[in-house]
Protein backbone atom coordinates (compact mmCIF):
# COMPACT_ATOMS: atom_id res chain seq x y z
CA UNK A 1 0.00 0.00 0.00
CA UNK A 2 1.38 3.35 -1.01
CA UNK A 3 2.46 5.42 1.97
CA UNK A 4 0.36 8.50 2.42
CA UNK A 5 -0.02 11.28 4.89
CA UNK A 6 -2.69 9.88 7.17
CA UNK A 7 -4.54 13.06 7.82
CA UNK A 8 -7.97 13.30 9.37
CA UNK A 9 -9.23 15.28 6.40
CA UNK A 10 -10.62 12.47 4.31
CA UNK A 11 -13.30 13.40 1.81
CA UNK A 12 -13.49 17.17 2.13
CA UNK A 13 -17.05 17.63 3.38
CA UNK A 14 -18.91 16.18 6.34
CA UNK A 15 -22.55 16.37 7.27
CA UNK A 16 -23.35 16.00 10.94
CA UNK A 17 -26.62 14.21 11.47
CA UNK A 18 -28.40 13.72 14.78
CA UNK A 19 -29.21 10.07 15.44
CA UNK A 20 -29.44 7.79 12.43
CA UNK A 21 -32.05 9.46 10.32
CA UNK A 22 -31.74 11.94 7.50
CA UNK A 23 -31.93 15.61 8.42
CA UNK A 24 -33.16 18.12 5.91
CA UNK A 25 -30.66 20.93 5.48
CA UNK A 26 -32.67 24.03 4.61
CA UNK A 27 -30.10 26.52 5.79
CA UNK A 28 -26.46 25.73 6.35
CA UNK A 29 -23.34 27.47 7.47
CA UNK A 30 -19.94 26.12 6.66
CA UNK A 31 -16.98 26.43 8.96
CA UNK A 32 -13.61 24.78 9.41
CA UNK A 33 -13.25 22.33 12.24
CA UNK A 34 -10.16 21.19 14.15
CA UNK A 35 -8.58 19.35 11.23
CA UNK A 36 -9.54 21.50 8.29
CA UNK A 37 -12.55 19.50 7.14
CA UNK A 38 -15.49 21.50 5.90
CA UNK A 39 -18.50 20.75 8.05
CA UNK A 40 -22.17 21.49 7.52
CA UNK A 41 -24.68 21.77 10.31
CA UNK A 42 -28.36 22.48 10.54
CA UNK A 43 -29.46 26.04 11.24
CA UNK A 44 -30.31 25.23 14.86
CA UNK A 45 -26.79 23.96 15.47
CA UNK A 46 -24.90 26.78 13.79
CA UNK A 47 -22.57 28.42 16.27
CA UNK A 48 -22.84 32.16 15.78
CA UNK A 49 -19.52 33.81 15.08
CA UNK A 50 -20.58 36.61 17.39
CA UNK A 51 -20.33 34.18 20.32
CA UNK A 52 -16.87 32.92 19.51
CA UNK A 53 -13.92 33.81 21.70
CA UNK A 54 -10.96 34.15 19.35
CA UNK A 55 -7.55 33.38 20.86
CA UNK A 56 -4.26 34.45 19.30
CA UNK A 57 -1.29 32.28 18.37
CA UNK A 58 1.86 32.47 20.50
CA UNK A 59 5.13 31.13 19.12
CA UNK A 60 7.63 29.30 21.31
CA UNK A 61 10.32 31.72 22.48
CA UNK A 62 13.80 31.06 21.08
CA UNK A 63 12.35 28.07 19.26
CA UNK A 64 15.38 27.46 17.04
CA UNK A 65 17.81 27.49 19.95
CA UNK A 66 15.58 25.07 21.83
CA UNK A 67 14.85 22.97 18.69
CA UNK A 68 11.15 23.42 19.48
CA UNK A 69 10.24 23.54 15.82
CA UNK A 70 7.78 22.09 13.33
CA UNK A 71 8.69 19.75 10.50
CA UNK A 72 9.89 22.69 8.37
CA UNK A 73 11.90 24.35 11.15
CA UNK A 74 9.34 27.04 11.92
CA UNK A 75 8.58 27.66 15.62
CA UNK A 76 6.03 25.58 17.47
CA UNK A 77 3.00 27.43 18.75
CA UNK A 78 0.07 27.50 21.13
CA UNK A 79 -3.02 29.51 22.05
CA UNK A 80 -3.51 30.69 25.62
CA UNK A 81 -6.62 32.16 27.26
CA UNK A 82 -6.16 33.14 30.93
CA UNK A 83 -8.37 31.90 33.73
CA UNK A 84 -10.31 34.02 36.16
CA UNK A 85 -12.04 33.92 39.53
CA UNK A 86 -12.17 30.47 41.08
CA UNK A 87 -10.38 29.01 38.04
CA UNK A 88 -7.43 31.40 38.00
CA UNK A 89 -5.05 28.75 39.35
CA UNK A 90 -6.40 25.78 37.40
CA UNK A 91 -4.91 24.75 34.05
CA UNK A 92 -6.26 22.80 31.07
CA UNK A 93 -3.76 21.89 28.34
CA UNK A 94 -5.27 20.57 25.10
CA UNK A 95 -3.21 18.84 22.40
CA UNK A 96 -4.29 19.29 18.80
CA UNK A 97 -4.52 16.29 16.47
CA UNK A 98 -3.85 15.98 12.76
CA UNK A 99 -2.67 12.56 11.64
CA UNK A 100 0.86 11.20 11.25
CA UNK A 101 3.54 11.37 8.57
CA UNK A 102 5.59 8.24 8.05
CA UNK A 103 8.03 8.80 5.20
CA UNK A 104 9.85 11.58 3.33
CA UNK A 105 7.03 12.30 0.88
CA UNK A 106 4.27 12.51 3.46
CA UNK A 107 6.32 14.64 5.86
CA UNK A 108 7.49 17.00 3.09
CA UNK A 109 3.88 17.37 1.99
CA UNK A 110 2.88 18.08 5.57
CA UNK A 111 5.39 20.94 5.66
CA UNK A 112 3.05 22.75 3.29
CA UNK A 113 0.20 22.66 5.82
CA UNK A 114 -0.41 23.85 9.36
CA UNK A 115 0.26 20.32 10.58
CA UNK A 116 3.89 20.68 9.51
CA UNK A 117 4.56 24.40 9.63
CA UNK A 118 3.47 27.26 11.84
CA UNK A 119 3.65 29.48 8.76
CA UNK A 120 0.25 28.08 7.82
CA UNK A 121 -1.33 28.12 11.27
CA UNK A 122 -4.27 30.43 11.87
CA UNK A 123 -3.25 33.55 13.76
CA UNK A 124 -6.44 33.25 15.81
CA UNK A 125 -8.74 30.31 16.49
CA UNK A 126 -12.08 30.01 18.30
CA UNK A 127 -12.07 28.35 21.70
CA UNK A 128 -15.16 26.14 21.83
CA UNK A 129 -16.25 22.98 23.62
CA UNK A 130 -13.85 22.08 26.42
CA UNK A 131 -11.91 25.27 25.64
CA UNK A 132 -14.91 27.61 25.83
CA UNK A 133 -14.90 30.48 28.32
CA UNK A 134 -18.67 30.40 28.78
CA UNK A 135 -20.23 28.58 31.73
CA UNK A 136 -23.31 27.74 29.66
CA UNK A 137 -21.11 25.80 27.21
CA UNK A 138 -18.35 24.48 29.43
CA UNK A 139 -19.62 24.43 33.02
CA UNK A 140 -16.61 22.91 34.79
CA UNK A 141 -13.61 24.40 32.97
CA UNK A 142 -14.84 27.70 31.49
CA UNK A 143 -12.82 29.94 33.84
CA UNK A 144 -9.63 27.87 33.91
CA UNK A 145 -6.41 28.84 32.16
CA UNK A 146 -6.93 27.09 28.83
CA UNK A 147 -4.17 26.28 26.34
CA UNK A 148 -4.28 24.61 22.95
CA UNK A 149 -0.91 23.32 21.76
CA UNK A 150 -0.68 23.17 17.98
CA UNK A 151 0.34 19.95 16.26
CA UNK A 152 3.06 20.18 13.61
CA UNK A 153 5.44 17.25 14.11
CA UNK A 154 3.44 14.35 12.64
CA UNK A 155 4.28 11.95 15.49
CA UNK A 156 1.94 12.73 18.39
CA UNK A 157 4.54 15.02 20.04
CA UNK A 158 6.97 12.11 20.36
CA UNK A 159 9.78 13.01 17.94
CA UNK A 160 13.21 14.37 18.88
CA UNK A 161 15.34 13.87 15.81
CA UNK A 162 15.93 15.20 12.32
CA UNK A 163 16.41 14.13 8.71
CA UNK A 164 19.03 16.49 7.32
CA UNK A 165 18.83 15.15 3.77
CA UNK A 166 15.08 15.84 3.56
CA UNK A 167 15.35 19.00 5.68
CA UNK A 168 12.85 17.64 8.18
CA UNK A 169 12.74 18.34 11.90
CA UNK A 170 11.08 15.74 14.12
CA UNK A 171 10.80 17.82 17.29
CA UNK A 172 7.38 17.24 18.78
CA UNK A 173 8.80 16.34 22.18
CA UNK A 174 10.87 19.53 22.20
CA UNK A 175 7.77 21.58 21.38
CA UNK A 176 5.91 19.93 24.25
CA UNK A 177 8.75 20.42 26.74
CA UNK A 178 9.35 24.04 25.73
CA UNK A 179 5.71 25.07 25.93
CA UNK A 180 5.19 23.36 29.28
CA UNK A 181 8.33 25.10 30.60
CA UNK A 182 7.08 28.48 29.39
CA UNK A 183 3.65 27.89 30.93
CA UNK A 184 5.21 26.92 34.24
CA UNK A 185 7.06 30.23 34.25
CA UNK A 186 3.78 31.91 33.34
CA UNK A 187 2.08 30.70 36.51
CA UNK A 188 1.28 27.05 35.91
CA UNK A 189 3.83 26.00 38.53
CA UNK A 190 1.34 27.27 41.13
CA UNK A 191 -1.57 25.29 39.66
CA UNK A 192 -4.09 23.89 42.10
CA UNK A 193 -5.56 21.53 39.50
CA UNK A 194 -4.40 20.38 36.06
CA UNK A 195 -5.99 18.52 33.16
CA UNK A 196 -4.17 17.37 30.03
CA UNK A 197 -6.51 16.59 27.14
CA UNK A 198 -6.12 15.96 23.43
CA UNK A 199 -7.98 14.95 20.30
CA UNK A 200 -7.10 12.09 17.92
CA UNK A 201 -3.30 12.05 17.40
CA UNK A 202 -3.32 14.57 20.25
CA UNK A 203 -5.58 12.24 22.24
CA UNK A 204 -2.98 9.50 21.90
CA UNK A 205 -0.34 12.04 22.96
CA UNK A 206 -2.39 12.88 26.07
CA UNK A 207 -1.92 9.25 27.11
CA UNK A 208 1.76 9.04 26.15
CA UNK A 209 2.57 12.35 27.89
CA UNK A 210 0.35 11.91 30.94
CA UNK A 211 3.22 11.01 33.25
CA UNK A 212 5.28 13.92 31.93
CA UNK A 213 2.43 16.28 32.68
CA UNK A 214 2.03 14.94 36.19
CA UNK A 215 5.77 15.25 36.83
CA UNK A 216 5.74 18.85 35.59
CA UNK A 217 3.02 19.66 38.13
CA UNK A 218 4.60 17.72 40.98
CA UNK A 219 3.31 20.20 43.59
CA UNK A 220 -0.25 20.05 42.27
CA UNK A 221 -2.57 17.70 44.15
CA UNK A 222 -5.06 16.95 41.38
CA UNK A 223 -3.58 16.19 37.93
CA UNK A 224 -5.50 14.08 35.43
CA UNK A 225 -5.51 13.24 31.71
CA UNK A 226 -8.26 12.95 29.11
CA UNK A 227 -7.92 11.22 25.75
CA UNK A 228 -10.54 12.08 23.12
CA UNK A 229 -10.56 9.74 20.09
CA UNK A 230 -7.04 8.59 20.92
CA UNK A 231 -7.89 4.96 21.63
CA UNK A 232 -6.71 3.55 18.29
CA UNK A 233 -6.94 -0.25 18.19
CA UNK A 234 -4.50 -2.70 16.70
CA UNK A 235 -7.20 -4.26 14.50
CA UNK A 236 -7.41 -6.25 11.29
CA UNK A 237 -9.04 -4.58 8.29
CA UNK A 238 -11.61 -6.13 5.95
CA UNK A 239 -8.83 -7.82 3.99
CA UNK A 240 -7.22 -9.29 7.10
CA UNK A 241 -4.26 -6.92 7.12
CA UNK A 242 -3.26 -4.55 9.93
CA UNK A 243 -3.03 -1.20 8.19
CA UNK A 244 -2.63 0.90 11.31
CA UNK A 245 0.09 -1.36 12.73
CA UNK A 246 2.04 -0.93 9.50
CA UNK A 247 1.60 2.85 9.67
CA UNK A 248 2.79 2.99 13.29
CA UNK A 249 5.77 0.78 12.46
CA UNK A 250 6.76 3.06 9.58
CA UNK A 251 6.29 6.13 11.76
CA UNK A 252 8.46 4.81 14.59
CA UNK A 253 11.24 3.78 12.23
CA UNK A 254 11.19 6.96 10.12
CA UNK A 255 10.99 9.47 12.96
CA UNK A 256 13.09 7.28 15.31
CA UNK A 257 10.86 7.64 18.37
CA UNK A 258 11.44 4.33 20.18
CA UNK A 259 13.36 6.06 22.99
CA UNK A 260 10.36 8.31 23.67
CA UNK A 261 7.95 5.42 24.29
CA UNK A 262 7.08 4.11 27.78
CA UNK A 263 9.92 2.06 29.25
CA UNK A 264 7.60 -0.26 31.16
CA UNK A 265 5.89 -1.18 27.89
CA UNK A 266 9.14 -1.64 25.95
CA UNK A 267 10.28 -4.16 28.55
CA UNK A 268 7.55 -6.53 27.35
CA UNK A 269 6.46 -5.44 23.87
CA UNK A 270 7.99 -4.12 20.65
CA UNK A 271 7.96 -0.35 19.90
CA UNK A 272 5.03 -0.58 17.48
CA UNK A 273 2.85 -2.25 20.09
CA UNK A 274 3.84 0.43 22.60
CA UNK A 275 2.37 3.15 20.36
CA UNK A 276 -1.08 1.58 20.74
CA UNK A 277 -3.04 2.97 23.68
CA UNK A 278 -4.50 -0.47 24.45
CA UNK A 279 -1.06 -1.58 25.65
CA UNK A 280 -0.39 1.55 27.73
CA UNK A 281 -3.53 2.67 29.53
CA UNK A 282 -3.45 0.10 32.34
CA UNK A 283 -0.03 1.38 33.40
CA UNK A 284 -0.83 5.10 33.48
CA UNK A 285 -0.56 6.19 37.12
CA UNK A 286 -2.43 9.53 37.04
CA UNK A 287 -6.22 9.23 36.64
CA UNK A 288 -7.13 8.85 32.96
CA UNK A 289 -10.42 9.32 31.10
CA UNK A 290 -11.02 7.58 27.76
CA UNK A 291 -13.59 9.28 25.54
CA UNK A 292 -14.18 7.46 22.27
CA UNK A 293 -16.81 6.57 19.74
CA UNK A 294 -17.19 2.80 19.54
CA UNK A 295 -17.56 3.22 15.77
CA UNK A 296 -14.80 5.80 15.42
CA UNK A 297 -15.16 7.22 11.91
CA UNK A 298 -11.43 7.64 11.33
CA UNK A 299 -10.62 4.10 12.42
CA UNK A 300 -13.45 2.68 10.33
CA UNK A 301 -12.31 4.54 7.23
CA UNK A 302 -8.54 4.30 7.53
CA UNK A 303 -7.86 1.26 9.69
CA UNK A 304 -10.79 -1.13 9.15
CA UNK A 305 -11.90 -0.31 5.59
CA UNK A 306 -9.01 1.47 3.86
CA UNK A 307 -9.38 1.71 0.11
CA UNK A 308 -6.38 -0.55 -0.41
CA UNK A 309 -8.27 -3.31 1.41
CA UNK A 310 -11.44 -2.73 -0.61
CA UNK A 311 -10.45 -2.62 -4.30
CA UNK A 312 -14.01 -3.44 -5.41
CA UNK A 313 -15.42 -0.48 -3.50
CA UNK A 314 -18.04 -2.60 -1.76
CA UNK A 315 -17.46 -0.68 1.49
CA UNK A 316 -17.54 2.80 -0.07
CA UNK A 317 -21.08 3.75 0.94
CA UNK A 318 -20.79 2.17 4.36
CA UNK A 319 -17.48 3.83 5.25
CA UNK A 320 -18.96 7.23 4.37
CA UNK A 321 -22.29 6.80 6.17
CA UNK A 322 -22.90 4.09 8.74
CA UNK A 323 -26.63 4.23 8.01
CA UNK A 324 -25.85 2.72 4.58
CA UNK A 325 -24.04 -0.34 5.92
CA UNK A 326 -25.64 -3.73 5.32
CA UNK A 327 -26.14 -6.36 8.00
CA UNK A 328 -22.81 -8.14 7.44
CA UNK A 329 -20.91 -4.86 7.49
CA UNK A 330 -22.57 -3.82 10.74
CA UNK A 331 -21.70 -7.23 12.17
CA UNK A 332 -18.03 -6.59 11.33
CA UNK A 333 -18.17 -3.23 13.12
CA UNK A 334 -19.91 -4.83 16.10
CA UNK A 335 -16.91 -7.10 16.45
CA UNK A 336 -14.67 -4.01 16.52
CA UNK A 337 -16.84 -2.44 19.22
CA UNK A 338 -16.82 -5.62 21.29
CA UNK A 339 -13.04 -5.72 21.17
CA UNK A 340 -12.82 -2.07 22.22
CA UNK A 341 -15.11 -2.73 25.18
CA UNK A 342 -13.08 -5.79 26.20
CA UNK A 343 -9.79 -3.89 25.98
CA UNK A 344 -11.20 -1.30 28.36
CA UNK A 345 -12.24 -3.95 30.90
CA UNK A 346 -9.27 -3.86 33.27
CA UNK A 347 -8.97 -0.11 32.80
CA UNK A 348 -12.52 0.55 33.98
CA UNK A 349 -11.97 -1.57 37.08
CA UNK A 350 -9.53 1.03 38.40
CA UNK A 351 -11.50 3.48 40.50
CA UNK A 352 -9.47 6.52 39.45
CA UNK A 353 -10.25 6.13 35.76
CA UNK A 354 -13.23 7.22 33.68
CA UNK A 355 -14.80 6.12 30.39
CA UNK A 356 -17.37 7.51 27.98
CA UNK A 357 -17.81 5.10 25.06
CA UNK A 358 -20.76 6.02 22.88
CA UNK A 359 -22.06 4.07 19.91
CA UNK A 360 -21.65 6.86 17.40
CA UNK A 361 -19.96 7.22 14.01
CA UNK A 362 -17.82 10.21 14.92
CA UNK A 363 -14.30 11.32 15.78
CA UNK A 364 -13.26 13.87 18.44
CA UNK A 365 -16.06 15.20 20.63
CA UNK A 366 -14.47 17.56 23.17
CA UNK A 367 -13.73 20.63 21.05
CA UNK A 368 -17.11 20.88 19.35
CA UNK A 369 -19.85 22.74 21.17
CA UNK A 370 -22.53 20.49 19.67
CA UNK A 371 -20.96 17.29 21.02
CA UNK A 372 -19.45 18.65 24.25
CA UNK A 373 -22.32 20.42 26.02
CA UNK A 374 -25.22 21.58 23.88
CA UNK A 375 -28.82 20.65 24.59
CA UNK A 376 -28.62 17.97 21.87
CA UNK A 377 -25.16 16.64 22.69
CA UNK A 378 -24.55 12.88 22.68
CA UNK A 379 -25.39 11.23 25.98
CA UNK A 380 -25.04 7.83 27.61
CA UNK A 381 -27.58 7.05 30.35
CA UNK A 382 -28.80 10.64 29.98
CA UNK A 383 -25.37 12.04 30.82
CA UNK A 384 -23.67 14.34 28.32
CA UNK A 385 -19.94 14.19 27.65
CA UNK A 386 -19.05 17.40 29.51
CA UNK A 387 -20.99 16.25 32.55
CA UNK A 388 -19.34 12.83 32.54
CA UNK A 389 -15.85 14.35 32.28
CA UNK A 390 -16.65 16.84 35.04
CA UNK A 391 -18.07 14.13 37.31
CA UNK A 392 -14.89 12.11 36.84
CA UNK A 393 -12.48 15.00 37.36
CA UNK A 394 -14.23 16.36 40.43
CA UNK A 395 -15.10 12.87 41.70
CA UNK A 396 -18.83 13.42 41.73
CA UNK A 397 -19.43 9.81 40.66
CA UNK A 398 -20.95 7.99 37.67
CA UNK A 399 -18.06 8.42 35.23
CA UNK A 400 -17.87 4.97 33.65
CA UNK A 401 -20.35 4.95 30.82
CA UNK A 402 -20.42 2.38 28.02
CA UNK A 403 -23.20 2.65 25.48
CA UNK A 404 -25.32 -0.14 24.05
CA UNK A 405 -24.47 -1.30 20.53
CA UNK A 406 -25.43 0.57 17.34
CA UNK A 407 -28.09 1.66 16.45
CA UNK A 408 -29.59 2.03 19.93
CA UNK A 409 -28.25 5.52 20.74
CA UNK A 410 -30.55 8.21 19.35
CA UNK A 411 -28.43 11.10 20.65
CA UNK A 412 -25.47 10.51 18.30
CA UNK A 413 -24.12 13.22 16.03
CA UNK A 414 -23.16 10.78 13.30
CA UNK A 415 -20.84 12.00 10.59
CA UNK A 416 -21.73 11.61 6.93
CA UNK A 417 -18.86 12.02 4.47
CA UNK A 418 -19.48 13.15 0.90
CA UNK A 419 -17.61 10.90 -1.53
Would you please indicate which residues are annotated as catalytic (active-site) residues? 200, 296, 363
Q: Name the residue among 363, 68, 57, 78 with its Cα closest to residue 204.
A: 363
- Rounded CA-CA distance 153/187 in Å is 26
Contact between residue 157 and residue 175 where contact means Cβ atoms under 8 Å apart: yes
Helices (H) and strands (E) in the chain, counts: 13, 18
Contact between residue 402 and residue 341 where contact means Cβ atoms under 8 Å apart: yes
- Rounded CA-CA distance 288/273 in Å is 20
- Rounded CA-CA distance 344/282 in Å is 9
Which residues fall within 8 angstroms of residue 236, CB to CB, at 6 or more apart?
A: 242
Kindly give the pairing relationship between strand 29-32 and strand 38-41.
Answer: antiparallel
Element spanning 206, H or E: helix 201-208
Q: Name the residue among 171, 230, 167 with its Cα closest to residue 203.
A: 230
Phi and psi of 263, rounded to 5°? -60, -40
- Rounded CA-CA distance 381/331 in Å is 24
Contact between residue 336 and residue 318 where contact means Cβ atoms under 8 Å apart: no
Contact between residue 257 and residue 251 where contact means Cβ atoms under 8 Å apart: yes
Kindly give the pairing relationship between strand 400-402 and strand 354-358.
Answer: parallel
Cβ neighbours around 51 below 10 Å, total: 13
- Rounded CA-CA distance 173/76 in Å is 11
Cα 285 to chain centroid distance, Å, stands at 20
Q: Name the residue among 2, 5, 10, 4 with its Cα closest to residue 300.
A: 10
Strand partners, 32: 38
Cβ neighbours around 101 below 10 Å, total: 30
Amino acid sequence: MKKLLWSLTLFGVILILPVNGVTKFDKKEKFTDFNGTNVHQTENDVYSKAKLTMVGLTFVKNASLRSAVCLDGSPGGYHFHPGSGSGAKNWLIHLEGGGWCTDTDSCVNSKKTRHGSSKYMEKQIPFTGILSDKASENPDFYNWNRVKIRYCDGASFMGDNENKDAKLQFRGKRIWNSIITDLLWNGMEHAKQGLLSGCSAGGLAAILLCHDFKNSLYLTKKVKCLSDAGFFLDAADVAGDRSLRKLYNDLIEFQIITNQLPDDCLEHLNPTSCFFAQNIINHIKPPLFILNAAYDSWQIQESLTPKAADPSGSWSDCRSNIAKCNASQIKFFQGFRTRMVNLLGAFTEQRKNGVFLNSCFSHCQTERHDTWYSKNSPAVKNKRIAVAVGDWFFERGGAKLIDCAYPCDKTCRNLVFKR
